[in-house]
Amino acid sequence: MRSTPRPGAVSSTVRRGLVAAAVLAIGSTAAVATATSANAAVSCKVTYDASEWQGGMSANITIQNLGDALSNWTLTFTFPNSGQKVAQGWSANWSQSGSNVTATALDWNKSLATGASTNIGFNGTWTSSNPKPTDFKVNGVSCNGTPQSPSPSPSQSPSRTPSPSPSQSPSQSPSPSPSQSPSRTPSPSPSQSPSQSPSQSPPPGTHVDNPYVGATGYVNPDWSRSAANEPGGSRVSNISTAVWLDQIGAISSGSAGNNSMGLREHLDEAVRQDAANGSAPLTIQVVIYDLPNRDCSALSSNGELKIAQNGLARYKSEYIDVIAGIMADSKYSNLRIVTIVEPDSLPNLITNVSNFQACQEAQSSGAYVQGVQYALNKLHAIRNVYTYVDAAHHAWLGWDSNFGPMVNLFYQVATGTTAGTSSIDGFILNTANFSATVEPYFNINTTVNGQSVRQSKWVDWNYYVDEQSFAVGLRNALVAKGFPNTLGMLIDTSRNGWGGSARPTGPSTSTNVDTFVNQSRVDRRIHAGNWCNQSGAGMGERPKAAPAAGLDAYVWIKPPGESDGSSSAINNNEGKGFDRMCDPTYTGNSLNGNSMSGALGGAPVSGHWFSAQFQQLMQNAYPPLS
C-alpha cells in the first residue's frame, strides 16, 4: 500500500530568520591551482560566492578539477579578518583554527574526475568586516596557474568524463526575533516577465515555455469520482488535480484510499481526454514523491525507502527509471506532462537537519540532492515532460537565513545536472499547504502606528506575507543567480481560499500591530506553521494559466478532500504513523509557537477520503463556488 502526501509537515513550520540589514552579493573569486604529484598533475579552479547580512553570511564554494582524476581532496583557505567564523557547513567536514579554514571531502564527493566539480558551503558570522578569502589551496597546492598536463607515466589513464557531484544545504536553527527590522524589502514584480503565450500554437509534443497556456487540464477519474459522490461535489469534480506517485507500487496500482489507477492508466485516460477536447493540448500533473528518508521531519507521511537500506539505488532503478520509461512511450508524446518533483525534500535540508536524524542522514549521504538530480536528468530528457521542483512556502523559507541558502542550494542542484539550470522548468510553492495566495489588506511594507507588520507575532519578521509575493521574490533571486528568464512559478491554491464568514472584508482599524494583522489577514490559521487538515480552510483560486507576471499557473496539486494524516493513532497496513500536528487537542511545540494544531477531528490516515474536510473546503471556498 502507498503513503500519500500531507501538507507541509512539521518541516513546513515557521523558521525565524537572522537579523539581515541587507542581502549583498559579495561576488566571486576564482583561482586555479596546479601541482605535480608522483603520478598526476593536480590542477583546480575554486569559485567563492556568498551573500551577507549584518553579522552573518552564507558562502558557496565550487571546486572544479582541471587536472588528473582525484581520489580525495582537502580545501584550505584563510579568512582575511579575525572576526570571520564558519558556523555551520555542508557537503564537507569543516573545521577552523584561528583564521585558517579546512574542508575535507565526504565519501560521496571525494572522487573528482577530470573536469568534474563539487559544491560545498557554509553559514558563518563576522564582526567588523567581511572580506572574501583568496588564498585557496587544494591538497596543499596554492592556486597559481592554468590546467597542467598529466605526467608522462601514470599507471593508467584517468577518466575524462565529468561526473558532477551533488551539493548539500546547511541546517538552520531559528533565531530569536531581531530587535530591529532589516531594511531589505522584496521586489514587487519580476525583473522581467517571461513570455507566457506563443503567437501560434506549437506542434503537439513541442516543449513550450509555459505548459499551461492554451491547454486543458487532466481530470483525475479517481478524485473526480470521490468529489462527485459528495453533496454539492459536482461543482468541482471536473477540476484538474494531480496524480500522486507516493510509492513504487503506486506506479502500477495507484496511491492510497480511493485512488486505484496506475500511471499508465492515467496517461491512457489523458490521451482519451486530449482527443475529446479538440485541438487544445492537455496538461497532466504527476507528483514525484518517494525519495529515501522522505519527509524526514514528519511522521504522517514518511516514505517506504530508507537510505540505510539501499534506498537511493532503489529510488533510481525501481521508481524513477520506471516512471521515465512509461512517460517516454511515444503514444504519450502529445501530452504535456508536468512533474512536481519531491515536495518538502530540499527545503528540509535548509531548516531541519539539526533536529531530525533522518534529515541529517539525507544531508550527509547526499541522497536528497542526488535523488532529485537523477530525477531531473531522467525526466528532462523526455521532450514533453516539464519539471517543477518544490520550494516549500513563504512561512518556511521567507527569512533571509533560509531564503539565501535555499536559492544557493537550488542553483547547486541544477548545475549538477546534465542540462544545468535548463533541467528545471520552474518551481512550485504551497504544495499541499494552506498559505494565502495574496493577503489583500496588508503587505510587507504596511506599518501600523509606526511599526512594521514584520514585528507582529503572525509575520514574525518574515520578509513575505503571502505566496504570490514570495513567488515573485524567489523567482527574481533565482534568475539573478543564473536560472533562465523563462523560469516559471506555480502556486498550489487547492486549499488556501479562506473564505466563509470568518474572512475579513477590509483592513483592520486597530493601531496595535498584532491586532491589525490578526484582524486583517485572510489566512485564518492559528499559526502559520500549522499544516494538517486545517479547520476553517476553503478551496482557493481555480486552476488558471499565467495569472500574473512570472507565474505559469495556479494549480490544484493536493486533491481537496484527501486527508493529511489521522487525528489519532490508527492501525494500518500502509506504514503511516501518527503525527500530533494532526490531533486537534495537541497544544503544539516550538515549531508552531506552542500553538494549538488547528486540525480537524475525525480524520483518517493520510491519503484517504475525508468527507468532513471536503465539505468544509467547499463551504469556505474563495472565490465562492457557484
| Catalytically annotated residues | 344, 564
**103 SS3 class:** strand
Residue entry with cell 500511471: 263
For residue 552, which phi and psi values (nearest 5 degrees)?
-75, -35
Q: Quick one: which of 464, 384, 380, 394 has its CA closest to 424?
A: 380
User: What per-residue string of b and e applies to 375-390 under the rule 16 or more CB within 10 Å gives b?
Assistant: bbbbbbebebbbbbbb
**Length of the chain in terms of residues written:** 626
Cβ-based neighbour number of residue 5 at 10 Å: 30
Give the span between the Cα atoms of 84 and 443, in whole angstroms: 35
| CA angle (396, 400, 404) in 5-degree steps | 95
Residue entry with cell 502529445: 334
User: What is the 3-state secondary structure of 583-596?
Assistant: CCCCCCCHHHCCCC
Q: Quick one: which of 9, 3, 134, 5 has its CA closest to 395?
A: 9
For residue 48, which phi and psi values (nearest 5 degrees)?
-115, 125
Q: Are 9 and 297 in contact (CB under 8 A)?
A: yes
CA 428 to chain CA centroid, Å, is: 7
**448 SS3 class:** strand
Residue entry with cell 496500482: 253
Q: Are 226 and 194 in contact (CB under 8 A)?
A: no
Q: Is 194 exposed, middle or buried (0-12, 13-18, 19+ CB in 10 A)?
A: buried
Q: Are 303 and 288 in contact (CB under 8 A)?
A: no
Q: Are 224 and 259 in contact (CB under 8 A)?
A: no
Q: Quick one: which of 610, 603, 490, 470 has its CA closest to 557?
A: 490
Give the span between the Cα atoms of 139 and 76, in whole angstroms: 8
Ranges of beta strands (E only) in 458-591 are 488-492, 544-545, 551-555
**451 SS3 class:** strand
Q: Which residues pair with 544 in a beta bridge?
A: 554
Residue entry with cell 478532500: 561
Q: Which residues pair with 103 in a beta bridge?
A: 75, 94
Q: Quick one: which of 385, 490, 478 has its CA closest to 192?
A: 478
Contacts of 287 (CB under 8 A, 6+ apart): 5, 242, 243, 244, 245, 246, 339, 340, 343, 557
Give the span between the Cα atoms of 321 and 426, in whole angstroms: 22
Helix (H) or strand (E) holding 122: strand 117-125
Q: Which residues pair with 19 in a beta bridge?
A: none
Give the span between the Cα atoms of 174 and 409, in whole angstroms: 19
